[in-house]
Amino acid sequence: EAGVAQSPRYKIIEKRQSVAFWCNPISGHATLYWYQQILGQGPKLLIQFQNNGVVDDSQLPKDRFSAERLKGVDSTLKIQPAKLEDSAVYLCASSLELAGGPGQFFGPGTRLTVL
Amino acid sequence: AQSVTQLDSHVSVSEGTPVLLRCNYSSSYSPSLFWYVQHPNKGLQLLLKYTSAATLVKGINGFEAEFKKSETSFHLTKPSAHMSDAAEYFCVVSTTSGTYKYIFGTGTRLKVLA
């Protein structure tokens, strides 16, 4: 079974530039999550989709971050414009159910450096 | 509201000695609990999960955890540490009622000494 795919793996940009990350979840997983993990901290949920609908985006900085999952499969997370404090690893995860059950499966992450 | 507290930010053990990583949770509903491991520059990997079945849960790589409702704890243990166990470990709580969320602890970095 293929895992969660993410690209790119690494990205370096200057502040005020824009950037986009892509995620393809495990086949059949209805729920998709984007997390931000700052160095030395645990992952923080940015947004959670159930199929193509948003379940939770309460911690997404909506003035600069956006995410979509148009066909209920793969997803894109965008930052525009980027700030220095956005430097982090962006993790995508998917699960069969909203919570509990088998748990979440994570992709390898995208390491973003904002200069 | 749900929360999870990992009581130690760093744990050091010698190779071949037991590992104990502590986790306490708070949940208004019956929780599901997970332990994930993250090796340097790698994604998170599920070690084990508790979802209201047996209270002693066995996971991969010789790890296990025991759900203790009276103590609201879900500590991770391994009888004998291996060098390859050195990593960051995250305890996670989720609920199947109310808001559906996975809440991460702040992590415990395990160091294994030769």
Confidence of residue B52 (pLDDT cuts 50, 70, 90): confident
Mutate to test the interface with B, among A49, A98, A105, A110 (most CBs of B within 10 A): A98
Task: List beta partners, residue A33.
Answer: A48, A93
Closest partner CB to B107 (pick from A42, A45, A48): A42
User: In the predicted model, is pLDDT for residue B96 greater than 90?
Assistant: no
A22 in contact with chain B, both atoms CB, cutoff 8 A: no
Whether residues B96 and A100 touch (CB distance < 8 A) is answered with yes
Q: Going residue by residue through chain A, which has 115 residues, state the pLDDT in tens, using 9 for 90 and above.
A: 679 999 999 999 999 999 999 999 999 898 999 999 998 888 999 999 988 899 889 899 999 999 999 888 999 999 999 999 999 999 999 988 766 566 789 999 999 999 9
pLDDT of residue A104: 86
pLDDT of residue A101: 63
pLDDT of residue B10: 96
B86-106: average pLDDT: 82
Residues of A in contact with B2 (CB under 8 A): none
Whether residues B100 and A104 touch (CB distance < 8 A) is answered with no
pLDDT in tens, B11-51: 999 999 999 999 999 877 778 899 999 998 788 999 999 98
pLDDT in tens, A98-109: 665 667 899 999
User: In the predicted model, is pLDDT for residue B72 greater than 60?
Assistant: yes
Nearest chain B Cα distance for residue A77, angstroms = 18
**SS3 per-residue string spanning chain B:** CCEEEECCCEEEEECCCCEEECEEEECCCCEEEEEEEECCCCCEEEEEEECCCCCEEECHHHCEEEEECCCCEEEEEECCCCHHHCEEEEEEEEECCCCCCEEECCCEEEEEEC
A99 in contact with chain B, both atoms CB, cutoff 8 A: yes
User: In the predicted model, is pLDDT for residue B99 greater than 60?
Assistant: no
Contacts of B59 (CB under 8 A, 6+ apart): B35, B46, B47, B48, B49, B65
Nearest chain B Cα distance for residue A44, angstroms = 8
pLDDT of residue A42: 86
How many contacts (CB atoms, under 8 Å) link A and B?
60
Share of chain B above pLDDT 70, in %: 95
A107 in contact with chain B, both atoms CB, cutoff 8 A: yes
